[in-house]
Amino acid sequence: MVRYLGSGDPVFYIHDDMERAEALYEGSSKDFTLAVIDDADWNRDLSPWRAEKVFKDGEDFSGGAEAYLNRLINVIIPEAEAGQGLRPLKRGIIGYSLAGLFALYAYINSDFFDFSGSVSGSLWFDGWKEYLKEKIPALKIKGKIYLSVGDNEAHARNRRMKCVEENTRFTEELLRNAGCTTIFELNRGGHFQDTELRVQKCIEWLKGGV
């Protein structure tokens, strides 16, 4: 299900909790539309391939992003926009944590979105750097991409997550060298600090010049 907040252009698609997204939008400039998708199965739909769970009490990642992206851009969004009478000039896809990883995956694997933002994205995901090296040469859209991470995230207790800042910087450099307009921001704090503010900063940067 997609819910639209606001009516301006561009439209930013985000996978998030509706209550959190509403708070994010209320604290923003409101000169854009925030399209919120809150019913995805994150570990299945937003993970690019299979990977073991990160936490003992969590679930494994089942790697359903390819199938979900196909449904998102060919069914979910077209039907939602038609229902709202929307014909946006520009579309972006942004996200936080695993949704930030998916936002980049969606951008790289389609020409549907004009820009993308990964805010404290899960770019520590096993095999991400190797995947990028293969995919970037065939990149279809070379627009604006925002990447950020908290300065304490590299100090995570989980050993798999410690590479998140390194991988985010690597991603930004690779996309910049491929011709995209990119920015990397190092925010203060850990993964769960100032989440709404961080996403607002992403949106404001991506809107510039659109």
- 18 close to 31: Cβ distance less than 8 angstroms: no
Nearest to 118 by CA among 23, 44, 203: 203
pLDDT-derived band at 118 (thresholds 50, 70, 90) equals: very high
**The pLDDT of residue 140:** 75
Distance CA(147)–CA(203), nearest Å, equals 11
- 104 close to 145: Cβ distance less than 8 angstroms: yes
Contacts of 49 (CB under 8 A, 6+ apart): 61, 63, 65, 127
pLDDT in tens, 126-174: 999 999 999 998 887 889 999 999 999 999 888 899 999 999 999 999 9
Tokens of 44: 């299945």
**The pLDDT of residue 210:** 57
Handedness of CA 190, 175, 12, 206 (dihedral sign): positive
pLDDT-derived band at 209 (thresholds 50, 70, 90) equals: low
Q: What is the DSSP string of 24-86?
A: HHHTS---SEEEEE----HHHHS-SSEE--SSTTS--EE--HHHHHHHIIIIIHHHHHHHHT-
- 146 close to 176: Cβ distance less than 8 angstroms: no
Nearest to 150 by CA among 192, 181, 205: 192
pLDDT in tens, 19-47: 999 999 999 999 999 999 999 999 999 99
Tokens of 33: 């539309």
Tokens of 66: 């390819």
CATH numbers and ranges of domains, the chain = 2-207 (3.40.50.1820)
